[in-house]
Amino acid sequence: MSTLNVRVAAIEQVTPLVKHFTLMREDGQHFPTFSGGSHVVVAMDINGRTHRNAYSLMGSPDDTEAYHISVRRQEHSRGGSVFMHDNVVEGSQLQITMPVNLFSLSKMGRKHILIAGGIGITPFMSQLHDIQRNGYNYELHYAFRSLEHGAFSDQLKARCGNHAHIYVDRLGQKLDLRELLGSQPLGTHVYVCGPSSMVTAVLETARELGWPENHIHSEQFTAPPMGDAFTVQLAKSKTEITVPNDITLLEALETAGVNPDSLCRGGACGRCELDVLELDGEIFHHDHYLSDAEKASNRKIMPCVSRARCTHMLLDI
């Protein structure tokens, strides 16, 4: 995938755990336009290893001067967000991919219900530009832990007026999904981004209420879990690589110069799927893409998020 060299032009501490980064192109050119819900992948060199994290673009899709991302500090994950918080300063150089959109608005939607939890608000920041520019009918439902953790909530209230509904958990404010999703006109689409418990609840409630599958859209920001190191053999490349505990199988393949396709890097899009030809252990599937039967068969793995415990795993790559 083609990449862009960028410089961090500004950093703003938005909440105790969230920083907002403004990125400008190193070559002084304009960025490509993108559509609301797009993300870029940021490459980070951490202790000599390249980590790649996906972050939603938050600014106006028409703003080609700068890209904007926000990063929530995740203390107990692989280190990418902590690196962004502690090591990246104004003037730092980074490499990002071109924008990719796996969470776009449906042009057929007659109404759009956006449901965000915590840092899951980020893809909606750019989607709202598309919604407001096109005059779409919409509601934004944004839930977060406590007032100090409500990133961009004041800005959203001002921008969306009575389209915005805010729920602060510590104040006992709860989003009633059944009531919300049970009372929408035909042709409504629902979009959810946030912690997996919220995404699962929205998907299950919408399905129980009979929403058509193609009217339900989700994006999850699950950091790939760490785990024990393991070794894989590559059938086509005729080589063997070890996957350290703190980088993904996908990152280990890329470091070795083997580059499977990838887009979301979060186990959702299916792009990185690899066939497992032989295995003498078990795969820890962390994706939301493979079916239960495919997971149980241990014949496929999504290397962006899934890991294995084995002494021998032969991949068809």
For binding to ligand FES (CB under 6 A), which residues are involved? 262-265, 267-272, 287, 289, 302, 304
Closer by beta carbon to ligand FES, 17 or else 268: 268
* Residue-wise DSSP of 128-180: HHHHHHHT--EEEEEEESSGGG-TTHHHHHHHHGGGEEEEEGGGT----HHHH
Give the C-alpha separation, 148 to 161, whole Å: 20
Closer by beta carbon to ligand FES, 52 or else 85: 52
Closer by beta carbon to ligand FES, 114 or else 250: 250
Minimum distance of ligand FES from residue 220's CB (angstroms): 11
Minimum distance of ligand FES from residue 306's CB (angstroms): 9
98 SS3 class: coil
Minimum distance of ligand FES from residue 304's CB (angstroms): 3
CB 47 within 8 A of CB 115: no
Minimum distance of ligand FES from residue 273's CB (angstroms): 7
Other residues' Cβ atoms within 10 Å of the Cβ of residue 235: 13
Question: Considering only CA atoms, which of 1, 60, 71 is closest in space to residue 31?
Answer: 60
182 is written with which tokens?
Answer: 């049970």
Minimum distance of ligand FES from residue 270's CB (angstroms): 5
Minimum distance of ligand FES from residue 250's CB (angstroms): 7
**Which residues, at least 6 apart from 200, have a Cβ–Cβ distance to it below 8 Å?**
none
Burial of 157 (0-12, 13-18, 19+ CB in 10 A): middle
Q: Work out the angle between the directed axes of helices 153-160 and 122-134 (0-180°, nearest 10).
A: 10
Phi (first) and psi of residue 244, to 5 degrees: -65, 170
Give the C-alpha separation, 94 to 164, whole Å: 34
Closer by beta carbon to ligand FES, 139 or else 273: 273
Closer by beta carbon to ligand FES, 58 or else 264: 264
Closer by beta carbon to ligand FES, 129 or else 265: 265
Closer by beta carbon to ligand FES, 7 or else 271: 271
Minimum distance of ligand FES from residue 221's CB (angstroms): 13
